Structure 1
């Protein structure tokens, strides 16, 4: 089933890669020599000619196999990657993820406000002379908020694995884009980190329907991964991009695949981490002890 080429998926990738490149639909349509309406239909999956796919792949500087989803899909921008996450989440029944410090989908609304500041301060000096980095962050934040809104509306099952080491750093440093900030800003960010951790503790104690959180105390993989279980297939995404302490939304190559071996290996990793993770009240008490030990005082 996973090997079937789905034109709706091709259209979704086309949209994600276009957004990732920061290309307006009107501009891409002009470059391709087609109407905006034709491009819109293509992004909806209404495309059948290989010549059109080849032209689109060339304009977006991606391989034709990646655009078609043959084998492994490589995604080189955070904007395109998180747009693909949004698309995949809209069709899934369950999400299993290991993200630092926690799945963005479970963060509070206050997290979005701080994240906007952090992503902008993480832009290297001189790297935004033309405003392209700021525009990319604006697009990324819009995608992230759309993901969270869709998740809350659809309420799919989610299993979020949390690494305790990530939360230690989160509480010690706060959500920061660099480490040369003023004491006032650092203290404010550490307070935000404390509040976000307390938000996770409340979920662990209240156990909302469909949300499972496990605190992992052993070393975890350096890269984040997420498994999307849909009605007729499962999809794996492996990402170097981070939205936590010292975020990275500039450099890296994410992978998306349904290859059986990759799926099996990561399903096994997730099952092992979940089996040994702290859960429920035990996990809540553990995070509370970390707050007491590492967090800034109120």
Structure 2
């Protein structure tokens, strides 16, 4: 069996894990439903699976197609947890990340941002009498922190494209899960947004090795996208899930594909946005002016 085939089985195991997490199932729960041991499920999630009937049973139980689980064509992910787990997996082995995020790349945010984001996600969900939505947010935050830890440990190259319009809204309003927040909380969020903008200025001025940030003044795509460049092939992820203002981690279908045309089209978009973006000192100067114009006083 070739290395390429082994990699394919490993990726199937990764997709299996992501869809299991997205369905809110523990390894024990899924193995019970499948009538297999938990050890057998762990092996499957590591890519040690060879029987098509087991793959079919797993796909049926998780509510995905066999083609989706095997990564044939376009991979669709219908939960935020499943999608961000796939992001973590792709980031674990990629050499470069190119992305357009709103309002800023989560991977480049400060640790303080996580506390604010957790509050915003909780306030954005509907009434939660049984606590299930809050538990989902906690699971999502743990997954996001794991992504950030992976990035900080591996340090792949990253090109982060940031919309100037999104930055200005971020400074004006801070992060908010809804619009009826008390003034005291709104002001605290705006102060936190100012701190994150100053963190971006530090990145622009210090220019850490492997981190490139561009502020885009023209309109950007409505959905965020990321391109993961790997030794074997680039992979594209397009997401309707939002972690910024008025976040959405409940409804949407993300897609992941290595199809040449889709990747090439988005690489062209990224190149065009990067070409016209403000960078380094120019970007830092713009952001300082935006802070003066839109941010709350310290």
TM-score bracket relative to the smaller structure: over 0.9
Q: Which residue of 2 aligns with 1:173?
A: 173
CA distance in 1, matches of 2:230, 2:132: 35
Aligned residue for 1:6, secondary structure, equals helix
Aligned residue for 2:246, secondary structure, equals coil
Q: Which residue of 2 aligns with 1:122?
A: 124
Alignment check: 8 A CA contact 1:5 1:69 kept: no
Q: Which residue of 1 aligns with 2:66?
A: 64
Q: Which residue of 2 aligns with 1:11?
A: 13
Q: Which residue of 2 aligns with 1:53?
A: 55
Aligned residue for 2:162, secondary structure, equals strand
Say whether 1:295 aligns with 2:295.
yes
Deviations 1:235-273 (A, max 9, x none): 000001111111111110000000011011000000000
Q: CA deviation at 1:5?
A: 7.3
Q: CA deviation at 1:16?
A: 0.5
CA distance in 1, matches of 2:6, 2:46: 17
Listed as ranges, the gaps of 5+ residues in structure 2 are: none
Say whether 1:233 aligns with 2:233.
yes
CA distance in 1, matches of 2:216, 2:4: 31
CA distance in 2, matches of 1:18, 1:52: 15
User: Where does 1:178-257 land on structure 2 (aligned, <5 Å)?
Assistant: 178-257=178-257
Aligned residue for 2:97, secondary structure, equals strand
Q: Which residue of 1 aligns with 2:146?
A: 146
CA distance in 2, matches of 1:3, 1:272: 35
Aligned residue for 2:95, secondary structure, equals strand
Q: CA deviation at 1:135?
A: 1.4
Q: CA deviation at 1:138?
A: 1.0
Pick from 66, 81, 84: which aligns with 2:83? 81
Deviations 1:192-244 (A, max 9, x none): 00000110011001101100000000000000000000111100000011111
Change (3 A) 1:4 1:219: farther
Deviations 1:22-63 (A, max 9, x none): 101101000000000000000000001111011101111111
CA distance in 2, matches of 1:137, 1:151: 21
Q: CA deviation at 1:4?
A: 9.4
TM-score, normalization: structure 2? 0.97
Say whether 1:271 aligns with 2:265.
no
CA distance in 2, matches of 1:6, 1:95: 21
Aligned residue for 2:161, secondary structure, equals strand
CA distance in 1, matches of 2:16, 2:236: 19
Alignment check: 8 A CA contact 1:234 1:263 kept: yes
Aligned residue for 1:141, secondary structure, equals helix
CA distance in 2, matches of 1:179, 1:169: 13
CA distance in 1, matches of 2:122, 2:188: 17
Q: Which residue of 2 aligns with 1:135?
A: 135
CA distance in 1, matches of 2:79, 2:130: 18
CA distance in 2, matches of 1:287, 1:62: 44
Q: Which residue of 1 aligns with 2:45?
A: 43
Q: How many residues align?
A: 296
Aligned residue for 1:282, secondary structure, equals helix
